[in-house]
């Protein structure tokens, strides 16, 4: 391992999320310009994007496995594994363009796959997918499935995020939800797989800060079959959302409240019924409590949520403009693409900012009631 | 560095306009420092968006007017100038400022006034967490932070000197954010009180004045809560009259509600926590 991988550099990452709650899809230049505004928060050792609603209708039903591999041999080993566990409907290289500021890239490929059989009985298809993906990622050296959702994709690498976005030709995709991350790695190496977002099924997470409770969370998650192999604290956030929301059925808001649970002295001051509920939740989910300075944006099917730690040790700003919801590390990043939002507010520690597709969503009709100055949204 | 003609326009003899659109913070700050060094009295900066360290370390008697959203560490280490911001400030405004003034017509982000050693910060709107953390004062150096709206948690944490005010004024119907933009006010999602939790935790100098009542449950153990006394009033009045003048407010209205004072219980609250 290169020596500089062990250096600790104090710094802050950049995160941003942009979503149309009516499901209006817009190309990647909006989020690229937003993250570009926060260039100083990154150091060129990682940038990435998650995009929801990007794939054509005939491929929407299938899991899009985005894979990066260091060598052809490792690429083929991973493909063999994918073929063994799933039905491959379609496969292709992930389109990229040469970029002067993006160095040598791994082999980047995507497979649209279906589960081999119908899973009518529990634990079900998604459980199967998670199990096989965890297994392949743990088993195949030098290759990584870094995105596995349906009708969504993660695009990431080593470089500044605005350059990585251009490298992956994100101006050619249209999504109703984009998140992005500019990395300033402090405790772990800057490598292609270590860039954010991290993804599992339709979840994606971008993260600024650190999860000081990582080991407690990791041990807790391992009891449920999750494996932490990414050399980063961020992945526990991803698996905790998957566990609490998808597997245990807690709503997104309650999931956030469990992860950033009230302090005991706050619980003591609650009405008795609330206090009893929170004592139970803190006891049951003690291993899921996230400690340390962090702000995250988690993307999921049909929505996104921004969440900062309980005592607000990392910044998070929200804004609304017409059908658009913005969440970012800095207000300037929002104003760079939307100069006059209707409301701008600073997040409170432990209080999630949630954006969701309206029930009737899915259309590509632009919202005519609000004229929002978002250059790339037409 | 050569100055591009369209970037910098000289209106009056000693008034200069700079267009910050798309400028990197280093270039913008270089232009500001150059203009101040060449004798500009007023520097008007348009289209500010996220540029950091504006006015960093400036010691010249200049007024900088900013239109837009100022980036992190606005006025860091500043020693003398006046900055008037028509818009919001991000995190760390007035970081370790030594003297001068920062007048913010919108809101300020986290840690506004951190480690201030002197000068004044007037915020018309609200501020984020940890405002005034580790402010300090010495002899004639008495930093003052006035917050027109409400403050986040940990206000005045480890405060060692100076004065912080929280006024809880309503957001005005309109505010001149500049550039023809609509006023935008952050609406607190849960504004249960003017200050958040852990107000004055670890404070060992200075004073926090809150207009109205303070919930003791929201204050740190190191703060003593009491009504502001007659001794405090002349200072409060002077500060409020000055603040009101900056924003065209009625000082009488601000002073019509009694203030609560938070003062340190001890000058060395953690003395016993350390071995020597």
> How far apart (Å, rounded) are the C-alpha atoms in residues B194 and A50?
38
CATH code for the domain of A94: 3.60.20.10
Q: Which of A142, A139, A147 is nearest to A168 (CA)?
A: A147
Contact call for residues B117 and B94 (beta carbons, < 8 A): no
> How far apart (Å, rounded) are the C-alpha atoms in residues A100 and A141?
29
Q: Is residue A27 part of a domain?
A: yes
Kind of pairing between the strands at A203-209 and A294-300: antiparallel
Q: Is the pLDDT of residue B176 over 50?
A: no
Q: What is the per-residue pLDDT across B54-103, written as a single tens digit (0 to 9) for each?
A: 999 999 999 999 999 999 999 999 999 999 999 999 999 999 999 999 99
Q: Which residue positions in chain A have pLDDT lower than 50?
A: 1-10, 361-378
Q: Which of A60, A157, A96, A51 is nearest to A376 (CA)?
A: A51
Per the CB < 8 Å rule, is A340 touching B217? no
Phi, psi angle pair for A274, to nearest 5°: -65, -40
Q: Is the pLDDT of residue B272 over 90?
A: no
What residue spans of chain B are helical by DSSP H? 25-37, 233-247, 251-255
Cross-chain CB nearest to B217 (options A269, A312, A339): A269
Copy the structure tokens of residue B163.
């004065």
Per the CB < 8 Å rule, is B190 touching A351? yes
A13 is catalytic: yes
CB count within 10 Å of CB A370 equals 13
Residue A344 forms contact with B (CB below 8 Å)? yes
CB count within 10 Å of CB A317 equals 29
- Residues whose CB is less than 8 angstroms from the CB of residue A343 and which lie 6 or more positions away in sequence, other chains included: A319, A320, B184, B186, B187
Where along chain B do its domains lie? 75-267
CB count within 10 Å of CB A6 equals 10
A371: exposed, middle or buried (Cβ count in 10 Å: 0-12, 13-18, 19+): exposed
| pLDDT, average across residues B20-37 | 97
Q: Is residue A251 part of a domain?
A: no
% of chain B exceeding 90 in pLDDT: 76
Question: Using the 8-state DSSP alphabet, how is residue A202 labeled?
Answer: T
Res B170: pLDDT: 64
Contact call for residues A207 and A246 (beta carbons, < 8 A): no
> How far apart (Å, rounded) are the C-alpha atoms in residues A260 and A289?
6
Res B274: pLDDT: 67
Copy the structure tokens of residue A7.
């250096």
CA dihedral B197, B117, B49, B185 (to 10 degrees): 40
Copy the structure tokens of residue B28.
């913008």
Q: Which of B53, B41, B90, B85 is nearest to B66 (CA)?
A: B85
> How far apart (Å, rounded) are the C-alpha atoms in residues B161 and B180?
39
> How far apart (Å, rounded) are the C-alpha atoms in residues B118 and B181?
32
Q: 3-class DSSP state for residue B260?
A: strand
Copy the structure tokens of residue A11.
């710094």
pTM of the full structure: 0.91
Q: Is the pLDDT of residue B126 over 80?
A: yes
* CATH code assigned to B75-267: 2.160.20.60
Q: Is residue A97 part of a domain?
A: yes
> How far apart (Å, rounded) are the C-alpha atoms in residues A238 and A200?
7
Res B242: pLDDT: 98
Res B8: pLDDT: 66
Chain A with chain B: Cβ pairs closer than 8 A? 72
Interface of B with A (CB under 8 A): 25, 49-50, 52, 68-69, 71-72, 88, 90-91, 107, 109-110, 128-130, 152-154, 181-182, 184, 186-190, 217
Distance from the B13 Cα atom to the nearest Cα atom in chain A, whole angstroms: 32
Number of H helices, E strands in chain A: 10, 18
Copy the structure tokens of residue B22.
């798309």
Q: Is residue A145 part of a domain?
A: yes
Element (H, E) at A143: strand A143-147
Q: Is the pLDDT of residue B135 over 60?
A: yes
Sequential DSSP letters for A32-95: HHHHHTTGGG--SS-EEEEEES-S-TTTTTSEEEEEEESSHHHHHHHHHHHHHHSEEEEEEEPP
Res B6: pLDDT: 54
Phi, psi angle pair for A126, to nearest 5°: -65, -35
Q: Is residue A305 part of a domain?
A: yes
Q: What is the per-residue pLDDT across A12-55, written as a single tens digit (0 to 9) for each?
A: 799 999 999 999 999 999 999 999 999 999 999 999 999 999 99
Per the CB < 8 Å rule, is A311 touching B49? no
Note the residue count of chain B.
276
Q: Is the pLDDT of residue B189 over 60?
A: no
Which strands sit side by side in the sheet containing A353-356, from one edge to the other? A198-200, A203-209, A294-300, A303-308, A353-356
Q: Is residue A132 part of a domain?
A: yes
Q: Is residue A149 part of a domain?
A: yes
| pLDDT, average across residues B132-156 | 95
Give the count of domains, chain A: 1
Which residues does residue A297 pair with via DSSP β-bridges, in sequence order?
Answer: A206, A306
Copy the structure tokens of residue A161.
């995020």
Determine the structural domain holding residue A122 and report its residue range.
Answer: 13-209+295-356
Copy the structure tokens of residue A263.
């302090």
């Amino acid at each position: 391992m290169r020596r500089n991988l062990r250096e600790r550099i104090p710094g802050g990452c950049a995160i941003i999320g942009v979503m149309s709650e009516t499901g209006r899809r817009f190309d990647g230049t909006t989020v690229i310009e937003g993250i570009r505004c926060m260039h100083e928060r990154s150091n060129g050792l990682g940038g990435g994007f998650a995009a929801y609603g990007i794939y054509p209708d005939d491929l929407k039903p299938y899991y899009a496995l985005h894979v990066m591999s260091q060598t052809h041999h490792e690429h083929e080993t991973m493909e063999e594994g994918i073929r063994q566990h799933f039905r491959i409907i379609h496969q292709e290289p992930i389109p990229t363009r040469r970029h002067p500021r993006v160095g040598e890239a791994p082999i980047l490929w995507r497979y649209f796959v279906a589960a081999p059989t119908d899973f009518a009985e529990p634990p079900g298809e998604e459980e199967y997918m998670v199990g096989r993906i965890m297994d392949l990622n743990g088993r195949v050296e030098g290759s990584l499935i870094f995105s596995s959702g349906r009708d969504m994709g993660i695009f990431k690498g080593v470089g500044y995020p605005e350059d990585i976005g251009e490298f992956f030709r994100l101006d050619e995709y249209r999504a109703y939800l984009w998140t992005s991350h500019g990395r300033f790695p402090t405790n772990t190496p800057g490598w292609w797989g270590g860039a954010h977002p991290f993804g599992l099924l339709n979840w994606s997470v971008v993260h600024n800060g650190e999860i000081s409770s990582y080991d407690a969370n990791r041990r807790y998650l391992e009891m449920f079959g999750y494996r932490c192999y990414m050399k980063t604290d961020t992945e526990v956030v991803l698996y905790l959302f998957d566990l609490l929301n998808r597997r245990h059925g807690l709503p997104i808001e309650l999931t956030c409240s469990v992860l950033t649970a009230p302090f005991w002295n706050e619980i003591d001051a609650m009405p008795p019924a609330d206090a009893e509920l929170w004592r139970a939740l803190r006891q049951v989910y003690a291993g899921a409590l996230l400690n340390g300075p962090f702000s995250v944006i988690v993307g999921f099917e049909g929505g996104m949520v921004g969440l900062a730690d309980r005592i607000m040790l990392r910044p998070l700003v929200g804004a609304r403009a017409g059908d658009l919801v913005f969440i970012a590390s800095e207000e300037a990043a929002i104003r760079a693409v939307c100069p006059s939002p209707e409301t701008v507010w600073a997040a409170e520690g432990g209080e999630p900012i949630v954006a969701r597709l309206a029930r009737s969503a899915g259309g590509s009709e632009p919202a005519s009631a609000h004229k929002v100055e978002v250059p790339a949204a037409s | 560095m050569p100055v591009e003609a369209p970037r910098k326009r000289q209106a009056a003899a000693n008034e200069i306009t700079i267009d910050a659109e798309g400028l990197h913070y280093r270039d913008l700050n270089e232009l500001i420092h150059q203009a101040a060094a060449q004798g500009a009295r007023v520097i008007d900066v348009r289209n500010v968006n996220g540029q950091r360290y504006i006015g960093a370390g400036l010691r010249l008697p200049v007024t900088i007017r900013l239109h837009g959203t100022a980036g992190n560490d606005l006025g860091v280490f500043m020693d003398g100038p006046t900055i008037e911001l028509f818009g919001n400030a991000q995190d760390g405004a007035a970081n370790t400022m030594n003297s001068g003034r920062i007048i913010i017509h919108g809101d300020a982000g986290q840690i506004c006034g951190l480690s201030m050693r002197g000068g004044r910060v007037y915020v018309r709107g609200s501020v984020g967490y940890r405002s005034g953390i580790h402010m300090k004062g010495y002899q004639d150096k008495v930093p003052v932070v006035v917050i027109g709206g409400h403050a986040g948690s940990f206000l005045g944490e480890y405060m060692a000197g100076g004065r912080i005010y929280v006024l809880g004024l309503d957001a005005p119907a309109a505010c001149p954010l500049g550039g023809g933009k609509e006023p935008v006010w952050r609406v607190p999602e849960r504004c249960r009180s003017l200050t958040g939790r852990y107000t004055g935790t670890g404070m060992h100098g200075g004073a926090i004045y809150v207009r109205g009542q303070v919930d003791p449950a929201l204050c740190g153990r190191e703060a003593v809560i009491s009504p502001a006394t007659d001794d405090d009033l002349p200072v409060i009045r002077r500060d409020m009259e000055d603040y009101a003048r900056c924003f065209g407010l009625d000082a009488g209205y601000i002073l019509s509600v009694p203030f609560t004072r938070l003062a340190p219980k001890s000058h060395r609250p953690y003395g016993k926590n350390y071995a020597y």
